[in-house]
Amino acid sequence: MRKLGHERIDILKMDIERHELAVIRNLKRRSAPSQVVFETHLHNAYGLWNRPMTHKEWDNMWKKLAKLGYRIFSFETTPTGLCCSEWSIKM
């Protein structure tokens, strides 16, 4: 954003194998995108984390998103079930 001189982006699409938790944790209201589309992995995310997502991580992610004013407008599970889900949220 800084390199291109953007103060804000409209939509952020993430499929980054649980690294979205760090991105969400660092979102700031003044620069948060209007919409975010992302995938969650409750399991071990292809062996990258050596553990499933914790309840605390899950709760903190949704609390942060709610605090920023995001609401879910679309949700879909993958064929493997709830362990992998696609979320679309907007302010």
Residue-wise pLDDT for 32-89, tens only, equals: 999 999 998 888 767 777 888 899 999 999 999 999 999 999 999 877 666 788 999 9
| Cα separation, 38 vs 18, whole angstroms | 10
Q: What is the pLDDT of residue 90?
A: 97
Q: What is the pLDDT of residue 82?
A: 64
Termini Cα distance of the chain: 19
Q: What is the pLDDT of residue 11?
A: 95
**Residue type for position 57:** E
Q: What is the pLDDT of residue 28?
A: 92
What is the enclosing helix (H) or strand (E) of 71? strand 71-78
List of long-range contacts for 25-31, beta carbons under 8 Å, 24+ apart: 25/60, 25/61, 25/64, 27/64, 27/68, 29/68, 29/69, 31/1, 31/7
Q: What is the pLDDT of residue 81?
A: 66
